[in-house]
Amino acid sequence: MSDLLYFDKSHGDLLRSIDLLLARKQDARVYVAAGKYTPVQVCESFFWEAEKLGLVWNELSVEGKWEGSTTEATYSLESLEARKNNSRVWIGQWCT
């Protein structure tokens, strides 16, 4: 999921999707990303509701150089790094 956290009215639908689709296994993971422009309280609200379902979250550090590859000629390396550095990313899993 990316940038969907910004639209807080969709949080319930997103959480229902995770609840129904994420396997209840120790190694199952859900990745969530949002632009840094997404208000902190909007992100916190989503994760608070997700924790009520039994999910725990870890935020990843994603700042730095672009280390991936792309076949899209429309994005420069600088553009990809700028997009990466303007994002926040979390990994969620079921509490064991």
CA dist 1 and 43 (Å) reads: 13
Alpha-carbon gap, residue 55 to 49, rounded angstroms? 9
Predicted confidence at residue 79, as pLDDT, reads 79
Tell me what pLDDT residue 74 has.
Answer: 78
Q: Are 28 and 93 in contact (CB under 8 A)?
A: yes
Residue 33 or residue 85, greater confidence:
33
Which burial class, exposed, middle or buried, applies to 23 when counting CB atoms under 10 A from its CB (0-12, 13-18, 19+)? Answer: exposed
For CA atoms 66, 60, 7, 95, give the dihedral sign.
positive
pTM: 0.82
Tokens of 60: 């990843």
